[in-house]
């Protein structure tokens, strides 16, 4: 008797269903085996699993600087407090990476100097380093107060410019109206409108759905006279 072929089954990592090995397809990007229900073809005709296809369509957000999560954290803390003390280990947890060697052994790494990737992380969101303790491995950030002088100056300038503009407009158009006055055509139109309003007030009101009486009906019966 001949030997029966041994069929090796394998499990799809996405749907976790078991299929024979020859029914699975290999992803061209990650190299793993998937069933045909969990694979698609790209524009070049290559086989992609659904996980790799999703990553290509919606790639992960990668900030330009690795210290960008620290600036996001400080911006959120600004709502609740104006001063915060963080351990170096906490900062590493926030940024998801290890701080360099100089951060643990040199205070100049924590200096408030522009055009540096670490210092821009807290200075762009309105914070500055107040103190650094290398022995305890902690740093204290303090929020910078907002400058009120610039905002008040801007509002004052805008108000004065608006007032000056309004005065010029009133002077210009006020003089024109005082000199010209109303024209004869406008006076005639206003008089005609007044006469129309007087006539409309004398006429009886017409209610919707009721037709006015004809002249013949008015002659037949007059409310001021007795019927003959």
Calculate mean pLDDT across residues 91-120: 90
134 class by beta-carbon count within 10 Å (0-12 exposed, 13-18 middle, 19+ buried): middle
pLDDT tens digit sequence for 106-161: 999 999 988 888 899 899 999 999 999 999 999 999 998 866 554 445 455 555 55
Taken as a whole, the chain contains a residue count of 228
Separation of alpha carbons 58 and 44, rounded Å: 19
b/e per residue 170-200 (b: at least 16 CB within 10 A): eeeeeeeeeeeeeeeeeeeeeeeeeeeeeee
pLDDT tens digit sequence for 146-161: 665 544 454 555 555 5
Local confidence band at 42 (pLDDT 50, 70, 90 cut-offs): confident
Mean pLDDT, the chain, whole residue set = 79
Which of the residue ranges 21-25, 39-43, 176-180, 196-200 would you say has the lowest mean pLDDT? 176-180
68 class by beta-carbon count within 10 Å (0-12 exposed, 13-18 middle, 19+ buried): middle
Instruction: Identify the pLDDT of residue 210.
Output: 67
Local confidence band at 187 (pLDDT 50, 70, 90 cut-offs): confident
Query: Residues 6 or more apart from 221 whose CB is under 8 A from it?
Result: 227
Range of 24-33, 54-63, 194-203, 210-219 with top mean pLDDT: 24-33
pLDDT higher than threshold 70 for residue 181: no
Place of tokens 């040199």: 106
Separation of alpha carbons 161 and 10, rounded Å: 78
pTM for the full model? 0.41
pLDDT higher than threshold 70 for residue 225: no
Query: Between 213 and 3, where is the model more confident?
Result: 213
């Amino acid at each position: 008797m001949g030997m029966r072929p041994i069929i090796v089954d394998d499990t799809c990592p996405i749907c976790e269903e078991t299929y024979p090995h020859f029914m699975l397809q290999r992803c061209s990007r990650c190299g793993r085996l998937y069933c045909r229900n969990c694979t698609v073809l790209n524009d070049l005709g290559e086989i992609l699993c659904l996980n790799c296809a999703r990553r290509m369509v919606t790639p992960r957000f990668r900030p330009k600087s690795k210290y960008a999560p620290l600036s996001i954290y400080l911006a959120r803390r600004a709502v609740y407090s104006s001063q915060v003390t963080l351990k170096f280990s906490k900062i590493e947890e926030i940024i998801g990476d290890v701080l360099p060697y100089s951060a643990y052994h040199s205070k100049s790494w924590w200096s408030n100097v522009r055009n540096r990737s670490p210092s821009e992380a807290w200075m762009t969101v309105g914070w500055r380093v107040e103190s650094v303790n290398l022995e305890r491995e902690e740093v204290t950030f303090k929020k910078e107060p907002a400058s009120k002088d610039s905002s008040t100056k801007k509002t004052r300038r805008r108000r004065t410019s608006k007032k000056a503009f309004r005065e010029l407009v009133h002077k210009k158009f006020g003089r024109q109206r005082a000199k010209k006055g109303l024209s004869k055509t406008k006076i005639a139109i206003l008089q005609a409108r007044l006469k129309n309003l007087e006539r409309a007030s004398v006429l009886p009101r017409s209610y919707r759905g009721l037709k006015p009486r004809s002249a013949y009906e008015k002659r037949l019966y007059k409310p001021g006279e007795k019927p003959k």
